[in-house]
C-alpha cells in the first residue's frame, strides 16, 4: 500500500480542485472520510478548542498536536494535512515536527512564519519572523522530507496582515524555491488579491475559508477559476458542533430535552463505528457447530 504522502501526490496530480472540511479529532475525521471527502486538514484552531478548551494562541504543544494527529490519521480513510504551526521552535524543532507528523500518518504538514506564540490567521495580534528565518523554517522542513520523512510540505505565510501583499508574495516565491510542495498565503482580503497570489506565484495554492474571516467566501467554481487547488474550511464543523451543543444545553437547562435535534441511537452507533466493529468481529467468531 502506498504511503499517505504518495497518495496525496497522486491525488493532486489527478484532481484539479479539492474541498477540505477540517477535522479536529478522531470522530470528525471519521465523519469527513465517511462523507466521501478525499482530503481533510487537521485545524490547529479546532484542535486547541476541543482538546484543551483554549484559543489558538500558541497554548497547545507539539506533543498534544502530534498525539491528535495519530488519532486523526488512524480514524479516517481521508488523507490528512496536519497543522504544524511554527514548527514549535527553531529549525531543528521544525525538522522534529515534520518527522513526527510523518510518523503519525499525516500526508502533509503545514509550517508557517509567525512568531511564537502564534495566532489564528484571522484574529488580531499576528506577527511574523523576518524573511530569512521564515525561509529557513521551510528549508528545515524540506530537509526533513529529503532525509526520509515521507510527507509533503505546505508552506504558509501570514505576512499579508502586517507587511502587505507584496511581502507575502515574495515569501511564497521563496518558499516554493526552497522546495515546498504547496503554498498558502493566509488572509487575502479581496478577490483581486486572491487572483494575484495564484497568478504571480505558480504552484499548488490553498485557500482558507473562515466564516466571518478576512478572506471572501467564494463558490468552489470561482476558487478553481482563480487558480486554487485546495479549499480548506477550518471552522465549519467546529462551529456547527458548538452551536448544536449550546442549543441542546440551553434546552436542558430550561428543563427540556433536545430530542428533535438528536441522531437516532442506531445512526449514532453507526457513525462512531459500532456496525463496522461488529461486522469485523463476526469474522473471528467461533463457528463450531
pLDDT per position as a tens digit, 47-59: 999 999 999 999 9
Count of helix runs (H) and strand runs (E) in the chain = 13, 8
pLDDT category at 18 given cuts 50, 70, 90 is very high
Query: Is the pLDDT confidence value at 21 over 60?
Result: yes
pTM exceeding 0.85:
yes
As beta bridge partners, residue 20 has 232
Mean pLDDT of 77-93: 97
Please tell me the predicted confidence (pLDDT) of residue 30: 98
38 contacts: CB under 8 Å, gap ≥ 6 = 11, 15, 18, 78, 79
| 117 upstream amide cis, omega within 30 of 0 | yes
Cell of 254: 430550561
pLDDT per position as a tens digit, 204-219: 999 999 999 999 999 9
As beta bridge partners, residue 152 has 108
Please tell me the predicted confidence (pLDDT) of residue 157: 97
pLDDT per position as a tens digit, 27-46: 999 999 999 999 999 999 99
pLDDT per position as a tens digit, 115-168: 987 766 566 667 999 999 999 999 999 999 999 999 999 999 999 999 999 999
Proportion of the chain above pLDDT 90, given as a percent: 92
pLDDT category at 286 given cuts 50, 70, 90 is confident
Contact 23, 41 (CB under 8 A): yes
Please tell me the predicted confidence (pLDDT) of residue 120: 67
Mean pLDDT of 72-97: 97
Query: Any idea which of 85-89, 176-180, 249-253, 284-288 has the lowest mean pLDDT?
Result: 284-288
Q: How buried is residue 182: exposed, middle or buried, by Cβ count under 10 Å (0-12/13-18/19+)?
A: buried
Please tell me the predicted confidence (pLDDT) of residue 118: 75
For residue 23, CA distances in Å to 94, 166, 240, 252 come to 22, 31, 12, 27
What b/e readout covers 216-250, taking b as 16+ CB neighbours within 10 angstroms? Answer: bebeeeebbebbbbbbbbbbbbbeebeeeeeebee
Cell of 19: 474541498
Cell of 118: 502564534
pLDDT category at 185 given cuts 50, 70, 90 is very high
Query: Is the pLDDT confidence value at 225 over 80?
Result: yes
Please tell me the predicted confidence (pLDDT) of residue 289: 53
Rounded Cα distance, 132 and 269, in Å? 51
State the chain's mean pLDDT as an integer.
95
Please tell me the predicted confidence (pLDDT) of residue 109: 98
Contacts 24+ apart (CB under 8 A), 210-218: 210/121, 210/122, 210/234, 210/235, 211/235, 211/236, 211/239, 212/122, 213/121, 213/122, 213/187, 214/122, 214/187, 214/188, 214/189, 215/122, 215/187, 215/188, 215/189, 216/190, 216/191, 218/191, 218/194
For residue 107, CA distances in Å to 4, 34, 38, 77, 162 come to 5, 18, 12, 12, 31
Q: Write down all domains in the chain, each with its CATH number in brackets.
A: 4-235 (3.20.20.60), 244-282 (no CATH)
Amino acid at each position: 500500500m502506498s504511503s499517505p504522502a504518495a497518495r496525496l501526490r497522486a491525488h493532486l496530480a489527478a484532481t484539479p480542485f479539492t474541498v477540505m472540511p477540517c477535522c479536529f479529532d478522531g470522530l470528525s475525521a471519521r465523519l469527513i472520510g465517511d462523507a466521501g471527502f478525499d482530503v481533510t486538514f487537521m485545524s490547529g484552531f479546532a484542535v486547541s478548542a476541543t482538546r484543551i478548551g483554549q484559543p489558538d494562541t500558541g497554548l497547545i504543544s507539539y506533543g498534544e498536536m502530534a498525539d491528535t494527529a495519530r488519532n486523526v490519521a488512524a480514524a479516517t480513510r481521508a488523507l490528512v494535512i496536519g497543522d504544524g504551526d511554527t514548527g514549535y521552535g527553531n529549525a531543528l524543532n521544525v525538522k522534529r515536527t515534520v518527522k513526527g507528523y510523518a510518523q503519525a500518518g499525516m500526508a502533509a504538514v503545514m509550517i508557517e512564519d509567525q512568531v511564537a506564540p502564534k495566532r489564528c490567521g484571522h484574529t488580531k495580534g499576528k506577527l511574523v519572523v523576518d524573511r530569512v528565518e521564515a525561509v529557513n523554517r521551510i528549508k528545515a522542513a524540506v530537509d526533513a522530507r529529503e532525509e526520509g520523512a515521507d510527507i509533503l510540505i505546505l508552506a504558509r505565510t501570514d505576512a499579508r496582515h502586517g507587511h502587505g501583499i507584496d511581502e507575502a508574495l515574495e515569501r511564497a516565491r521563496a518558499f516554493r524555491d526552497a522546495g515546498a510542495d504547496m503554498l498558502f498565503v493566509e488572509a487575502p482580503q479581496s478577490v483581486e488579491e486572491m487572483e494575484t497570489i495564484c497568478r504571480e506565484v505558480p504552484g499548488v495554492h490553498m485557500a482558507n475559508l473562515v466564516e466571518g474571516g478576512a478572506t471572501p467566501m467564494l463558490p468552489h467554481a470561482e476558487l478553481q477559476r482563480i487558480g486554487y487547488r485546495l479549499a480548506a474550511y477550518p471552522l465549519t464543523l467546529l462551529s456547527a458542533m458548538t452551536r448544536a451543543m449550546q442549543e441542546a444545553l440551553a434546552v436542558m437547562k430550561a428543563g427540556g430535552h433536545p430530542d428533535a435535534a438528536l441522531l437516532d441511537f442506531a445512526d449514532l452507533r453507526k457513525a462512531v463505528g459500532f456496525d463496522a466493529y461488529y461486522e469485523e468481529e463476526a469474522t473471528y467468531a467461533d463457528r463450531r457447530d
